[in-house]
Chain A
Amino acid sequence: MAQNAVATASKKPKKEKRSQFSGMSKALVRRETISAYLFLLPSLIFFIGFVVLPMIMCLVYSFMDMGLGESGTFAGLSNYVRMFQDPTFIQGFWNTVLIVVVAVPTVTAFSLWVGSAIYQMKPFTRSFFRCIFYLPVVTGTVAVTVVWKWIFNVYYGVLNQVLGTNQNWLGDEKTAIWCIIMILFTTSIGQPIVLYVAALGNVDQSLVEAAQVDGATKLQVFWKIKWPQIMPTTLYILVITTINSFQCFALIQLLTSGGPNGSTNTIMYYIFDMVYRYNDFGYANAMGVILAIIIAIFSAIQFKFAKTDNG
């Protein structure tokens, strides 16, 4: 049984590396395509109807010059050109990159650590910890930021009281973005931990046991057996955390408005400002498209890196 599974695990990636259709007859491909689309249909209705359609509209708007209450005029690539000459956008880009580069690895590594530390615990303890780390997600951004704002308050905040400092955490260029990243971290790890616990619990125990019989160390078991099996989960976590970090917005809106001196201004916050404060829809949509492309590139790199079959 175990050998069979090992063989599967090692054979799978190789087999699917080239064309997805290799070794399939034309009739089979047709049959598979039809049945696949039937499986996809319910989801596609919602996806195309309520995501892809508006998405296409965004793409169209991004080539237009459009203000409040206007139907817009064609503006060619001007919105895209403007972006690269806009210091606020460029500043926002680098702040966003900083958030992503710090948050994504920390969130992924930390949730993997918590996941592996708790998944073998007794069901109650496991549920308890999983629940605790998920709490910041449950409580909702508005209420959580109220608490954090109070913790970071310069005059009577708990953080200053505990550390005996007199720091304006959210009002200082050097610290504000780190406060944002910290809060983002607490609200981001809940979902990955839930997923890692589920994925680790799903690892084929027969393989683990077989390896242990062969005298593999814990670390070896983890890297050789568990890690490949939780790879799809890791990939999902990486992509989702990347997207969430790139789109980090509500925290900034509620805590710093992008300040001080633009140090927490992110692309997402700038887009929001452009839509709802300056009502420059064309430009905002163009930035949205570029943000989506940047995220897609990051995701593609992660897929490549993870060497998982993505079709």
Chain B
Amino acid sequence: MKKTKRVLALMLAASMSLGLAACGGGGDTTQSPTGGNNSTPSGGASGDTVELTLWTYPVGTFADNLDATIEAFNKVHPEISITYETIDYQNGDTKVTSAIQGGTTPDLIFEGPERLVGNWGRSGVMVDLSDLWAEDAASDIADGVKNASQLDGKYYMYPLSVTAHSMAINYEVFEAAGALQYIDEETRTWTTDNFVKALEAVKTAIDNGTVNVITPGIVYCGGQGGDQGTRALVNNLYSGYFTNEDGTAYTADSEQNVKALELLQTLVSEGKLDGNTAFVASDELQAFANQTCAMTFCWNYSNYVSYAEQTQFTPYVMAFPSDDGVPELEMGIYGLGIFDNGDQAKIDAAKEFIRFVCNDQTQATECIKQTGFFPVHENFGDVYAGTDEEETKAPFALMSTYTGRFYNLTPGWTEQRTNWWNMLQKIFGGTDVKTAVDEYVSASNANIK
């Protein structure tokens, strides 16, 4: 009796508050303290104008130029209005995940295949862009990029620009330590043996005070940030592969990769490298910039720009060291995808915008330059030719000729990333390499369905 009354009282209160909340919400949105109009009309199907939203991760200065891009777009398509928002890497995934679950996703999103294809495409929340890829304009896009934009024949991304993740050394420190003899300045490559010798030279120079850095290099593994660097380092040292050829299994337990990890473990224990279980790539880059370490394993043009202000030395772009001197770098691709919000008019308008941004040579060139990377369209040629940036861009352009297998769409990729840095932590903590790697591989392969 008493209990039912309690429940009744609560239910009454609940329904009352619900009713009130619904009234307050549905009734009038001008009540909003922003004073703004925040209920974007969803239908573009019946009306003349279509309103699109675009979220972009901070890739170079892509977002900074969006106002101009949209303005140019509106000259051709005045009926499509576009608003854009920047989201950051630290919190962007959190935001997109909740938007997908909460039904508030944008129409367009700008990032790379790991997210657009591997994550959201795989979950079925993205629009298949096969028709864009079937068009003539897509014919000059390299197969590597094309393959990275699709999953089981469905294309969830249309690319704009491409880069290769490389590393960089502190040129002056290497010079002072007499380590420049170990690198090929022409091709910007080095062999694993020479890499070890260079580390030894820098270490000696540190010990006798010739150079003012604290450690030759930091292998960071405090989180997943910038793990493309540690992946590439391990894979290149003895030309191992991260996954098998068809991307159905993780193969970090291959003989070559075990050897590579054992080498790193030895280098760390000898003090020629530092295994840092508290650092992620941004910490390591910070340490590279203030000359704590003499090299970084996470370098691309974007980072070059971000740190240009504080690097008081020459950050010298290098490929990852490899036993045969032939590096295979991990590709970074950036492009647009469309969230399936079930509104065909919006989807069509979004595709129109993609065509404009990625295929229109004038527009695309400008946008590519803003990302700081290189065109996916072979017909575009060198977009930096004749510009001020030609010289600084040259080594990065060289790096993009070394790109290798794109394995980032392997199922279970997200889980693998966490397993990876945890494995490195164990290895630098002294766990036997084989044991740690086996554990990593079996845990990661378990997520492949």
Whether A and B touch (Cβ < 8 Å) is answered with yes
Chain A contact residues, CB within 8 Å of chain B: 33, 37, 40-41, 44-50, 52-53, 67-70, 149, 152, 154-156, 168-173, 176, 255-257, 259-262, 273, 275-279, 281
Taking the closest CB of chain A, its distance from the CB of B106, in whole angstroms, is: 15
Does B223 touch A at the CB level, under 8 Å?
yes
Contact status B93-A277, CB under 8 Å: yes
Contact status B120-A68, CB under 8 Å: yes
Rounded to whole angstroms, the CA-CA distance of A259 and B21 in the bound complex is: 43
Taking the closest CB of chain A, its distance from the CB of B12, in whole angstroms, is: 9
Tell me the residues in window 277-311 of chain B with beta carbons closer than 8 Å to chain A beta carbons: 277-280, 283, 287, 290, 292
Other than A68-B101, A176-B278, A261-B422, give 9 A-B pairs with Cβ distance below 8 A.
A48-B14, A52-B14, A69-B123, A152-B278, A154-B276, A172-B277, A257-B223, A261-B426, A279-B123
Contact status B124-A69, CB under 8 Å: yes
Q: 19 interchain pairs (CB within 8 A)? A: A37-B13, A41-B16, A45-B21, A46-B17, A47-B17, A49-B18, A49-B21, A53-B18, A68-B101, A154-B278, A168-B278, A170-B278, A171-B277, A172-B277, A173-B429, A257-B224, A260-B278, A262-B422, A276-B98
Contact status B13-A44, CB under 8 Å: yes
Measured between beta carbons, the chain B residues less than 8 angstroms from A256 are 222-223, 278
Taking the closest CB of chain B, its distance from the CB of A116, in whole angstroms, is: 38
Contact status A276-B97, CB under 8 Å: yes
Contact status B292-A155, CB under 8 Å: yes
Chain B residue at minimal CB-CB distance from A169: B278
Rounded to whole angstroms, the CA-CA distance of A184 and B101 in the bound complex is: 31
Contact status B13-A170, CB under 8 Å: no
Cross-chain pair count, CB within 8 angstroms: 107
Contact status B13-A257, CB under 8 Å: no
Pick the 9 closest A-B CB pairs, nearest first. A171-B278, A257-B223, A171-B277, A45-B17, A170-B278, A260-B277, A68-B123, A69-B125, A49-B21
Measured between beta carbons, the chain B residues less than 8 angstroms from A45 are 16-17, 20-21
Chain B contact residues, CB within 8 Å of chain A: 9, 13-14, 16-18, 20-21, 93-94, 97-98, 100-101, 119-120, 123-125, 214-215, 221-224, 276-280, 283, 287, 290, 292, 414-415, 418, 421-422, 425-426, 429
Contact status A259-B421, CB under 8 Å: yes
Contact status B425-A259, CB under 8 Å: yes
Secondary structure of the B side of the interface?
A: helix
Contact status B223-A259, CB under 8 Å: yes
Rounded to whole angstroms, the CA-CA distance of A86 and B222 in the bound complex is: 22
Measured between beta carbons, the chain B residues less than 8 angstroms from A37 are 9, 13
Measured between beta carbons, the chain B residues less than 8 angstroms from A52 are 14
Measured between beta carbons, the chain B residues less than 8 angstroms from A156 are 214, 290, 292
Chain A residue at minimal CB-CB distance from B223: A257
Measured between beta carbons, the chain B residues less than 8 angstroms from A48 are 13-14, 17-18
Chain A residue at minimal CB-CB distance from B126: A69
Chain B residue at minimal CB-CB distance from A257: B223
Instruction: Pick the residue among A149, A259, A278 that contacts B277 (CB under 8 A).
Output: A259
Chain B residue at minimal CB-CB distance from A53: B18
Instruction: Pick the residue among B13, B280, B422 that contacts A41 (CB under 8 A).
Output: B13
Taking the closest CB of chain B, its distance from the CB of A38, in whole angstroms, is: 11
Rounded to whole angstroms, the CA-CA distance of A255 and B222 in the bound complex is: 9
Contact status A277-B21, CB under 8 Å: no
Measured between beta carbons, the chain B residues less than 8 angstroms from A49 are 17-18, 20-21
Answer whether A261 and B425 are a contact pair too, CB < 8 Å, given A48-B17, A68-B125, A155-B292. yes
Taking the closest CB of chain B, its distance from the CB of A34, in whole angstroms, is: 10
Interface centre among B9, B124, B277 (most CB of A within 10 A): B277
Taking the closest CB of chain B, its distance from the CB of A23, in whole angstroms, is: 18
Taking the closest CB of chain B, its distance from the CB of A172, in whole angstroms, is: 8
Taking the closest CB of chain A, its distance from the CB of B21, in whole angstroms, is: 4
Taking the closest CB of chain A, its distance from the CB of B272, in whole angstroms, is: 16
Rounded to whole angstroms, the CA-CA distance of A69 and B339 in the bound complex is: 11
Measured between beta carbons, the chain B residues less than 8 angstroms from A255 are 278
Rounded to whole angstroms, the CA-CA distance of A152 and B277 in the bound complex is: 13
Rounded to whole angstroms, the CA-CA distance of A110 and B97 in the bound complex is: 40
Answer whether A277 and B125 are a contact pair too, CB < 8 Å, given A45-B21, A260-B429. no
Rounded to whole angstroms, the CA-CA distance of A155 and B283 in the bound complex is: 11
Contact status A278-B414, CB under 8 Å: yes
Chain B residue at minimal CB-CB distance from A272: B94
Chain B residue at minimal CB-CB distance from A50: B21
Interface centre among A52, A255, A277, A281 (most CB of B within 10 A): A277
Taking the closest CB of chain B, its distance from the CB of A293, in whole angstroms, is: 20
Contact status A259-B276, CB under 8 Å: no
Chain A residue at minimal CB-CB distance from B214: A155
Measured between beta carbons, the chain A residues less than 8 angstroms from B276 are 154, 168, 171
Interface centre among B16, B17, B21, B429 (most CB of A within 10 A): B17
Rounded to whole angstroms, the CA-CA distance of A47 and B279 in the bound complex is: 41
Rounded to whole angstroms, the CA-CA distance of A67 and B449 in the bound complex is: 14
Taking the closest CB of chain A, its distance from the CB of B230, in whole angstroms, is: 14
